[in-house]
Amino acid sequence: MKKSSHHVVKESVEYAKAEHGINTAGFVNAVLRKYLREIETRRISKPGVISQTGSLSPDIMAVVYSFPQWLVQRWRKRFGHSKAELLFSHLNKPPEFALRVIEHNITKCEAITKLENLGLMVKPGKFLESALYVNRLAPLIQDELLRNKLISIQDETSQLAVHSLQLKPGSLVLDACSGLGTKASHIMDLATGIRLVALDNSLSRLSFADRRSSLILGDANFAPFKGEVFDAIILDAPCSSLGIIRKHPEIKWRRRENDINHFSHKQYAMLKSVWDKLKVGGHLVYSVCSFEPEETIDVINKFKNIRKFALENPLPFLFNKEYFVSLPFETGMDGFFIARLKKL
């Protein structure tokens, strides 16, 4: 038998009181009753659906879209009510998973056929011919497509970051936060006649890295290289990861607002460290899976105060911009930032 809304509120308040105390119970009671009042006045048509009449208060929006209040307040202030709702709605959709077709091993058409034969729904990439999207990853885990290196699981935004390097034959390249080596493999597949150094502070992650690159266990905060030796560097820095909430919804509950500044300081320190290993005239690609200003353009602008560089269009085959910001409700991809810096 379906319970009335007020009965649900009563049970929720009792549970909150029993588990978390009277203060939490009072907060839950206030929020839920305000939510019911807004439903009754038709300010909300359906939970989780963008409102058509009027704007929701931050506490109600937090309930409707299941986001922490600090993030609701932050994004409402930055984007305005309507775009914030678009963002929350998009991040609550079931995730799509990006793949990279390794085109010297298989054609795109062949890859699509094999993926569809696994029962997967396949969509084209948003920007790149080599990118495909599928609705699930589980059928791929033991399949020949991965085992025989015919495809790679790689976000399209990460693929765009690698393309931003615009590599030339003979270049010595540093992947400064290599992780599992996804970008390193892409670099080696994309460019010919280059030498690649993959740096990471985790031995377990490096164990998965592409053996075509030189693997070095180390910390990008203290880049273990002497002098300006690299022609190109990609720094996919640790970040708040707020751009990938659609794939990892737990992030929104694990993060606190002060984490953003914490990562910003860390990113700036890493950028300073690896920059000193880049040749004059060389290029550094800075990327993060976040679209927060403190972690993106603010880091770049702060860096301008201590180093000489020019911002160059990272993706000239797509647009004419000094840097790239992927807002999920605009691009349909993960939230991401890419800047390409030329050392002067």
Statement: residue 232 has pLDDT above 90 = yes
Statement: residue 51 has pLDDT above 60 = no
Statement: residue 39 has pLDDT above 70 = no
- pLDDT tens for each residue of 121-136: 999 999 999 999 999 9
Mean pLDDT, the chain, rounded, equals 89
- pLDDT tens for each residue of 171-201: 999 999 998 889 999 999 998 889 999 988 8
The residue among 7 and 304 whose pLDDT is bigger is 304
Distant-in-sequence, close-in-space partners of 316: CB < 8 Å, separation ≥ 6: none
The whole-number pLDDT of residue 212 equals 82
The whole-number pLDDT of residue 23 equals 74
Inter-residue contact 213 to 198 (CB < 8 Å): yes
User: Any idea where the domains of the chain sit in the sequence?
Assistant: 5-91, 97-153, 156-343
Statement: residue 12 has pLDDT above 70 = yes
The whole-number pLDDT of residue 54 equals 52
Average pLDDT over residues 322-333: 97
The burial of 216, by beta-carbon neighbours within 10 Å (0-12 exposed, 13-18 middle, 19 or more buried), is given as middle
Average pLDDT over residues 316-333: 95
- pLDDT tens for each residue of 101-113: 999 999 999 999 9
The whole-number pLDDT of residue 129 equals 95
The residue among 43 and 198 whose pLDDT is bigger is 198
Q: Torsions phi, psi of 216, nearest 5?
A: -130, 125
Statement: residue 269 has pLDDT above 70 = yes
Q: Which two tokens stand for residue 69?
A: 């209040």
Least confidently predicted of 6-20, 119-133, 300-314? 6-20
- What interhelical angle do 182-190 and 156-163 show, nearest 10? 50
The whole-number pLDDT of residue 224 equals 87
User: Band of the pLDDT at 1, cuts 50, 70, 90?
Assistant: very low
The residue among 86 and 60 whose pLDDT is bigger is 86
Closest CA relative to residue 87, chosen from 245, 238, 241, 287: 245
Distant-in-sequence, close-in-space partners of 295: CB < 8 Å, separation ≥ 6: 239, 240, 260, 263, 264, 267, 288, 337
Q: Which CATH number fits domain 97-153: 1.20.1250.20, 3.40.50.140, 3.30.70.1170, 3.50.7.10?
A: 3.30.70.1170
**What Cα–Cα distance (Å) separates residue 184 from each residue in 9, 82, 158, 209, 214?**
52, 39, 11, 7, 10
Q: Which CATH number fits domain 156-343: 3.50.50.60, 3.40.50.720, 3.40.50.150, 1.10.3330.10?
A: 3.40.50.150
Inter-residue contact 46 to 89 (CB < 8 Å): no
Q: What percent of the chain has pLDDT over 90?
A: 69
Statement: residue 58 has pLDDT above 90 = no
The residue among 26 and 71 whose pLDDT is bigger is 71
* Cα 116 to chain centroid, rounded: 26
Average pLDDT over residues 29-45: 63
Q: What percent of the chain has pLDDT over 70?
A: 91
Statement: residue 202 has pLDDT above 60 = yes
Angle of CA points 231, 237, 243, to nearest 5°: 130
Q: Torsions phi, psi of 220, nearest 5?
A: -65, -20
- Could you tell me how many helices (H) and strands (E) the chain has, helices first? 14, 12
> How many CA atoms within 13 Å lie on the side-chain side of 270?
29
Closest CA relative to residue 182, chosen from 205, 201, 165, 204: 205
**Long-range CB contacts for residues 321-328, cutoff 8 Å, separation at least 24:** 323/296, 323/297, 324/160, 324/164, 325/291, 325/296, 325/297, 326/157, 326/243, 326/291, 327/87, 327/291, 328/87, 328/90, 328/91, 328/243, 328/246
User: Band of the pLDDT at 53, cuts 50, 70, 90?
Assistant: very low
Distance of alpha carbon 331 from alpha carbon 337, whole angstroms: 12
Angle of CA points 149, 314, 94, to nearest 5°: 55
Average pLDDT over residues 261-265: 98
Statement: residue 8 has pLDDT above 80 = no
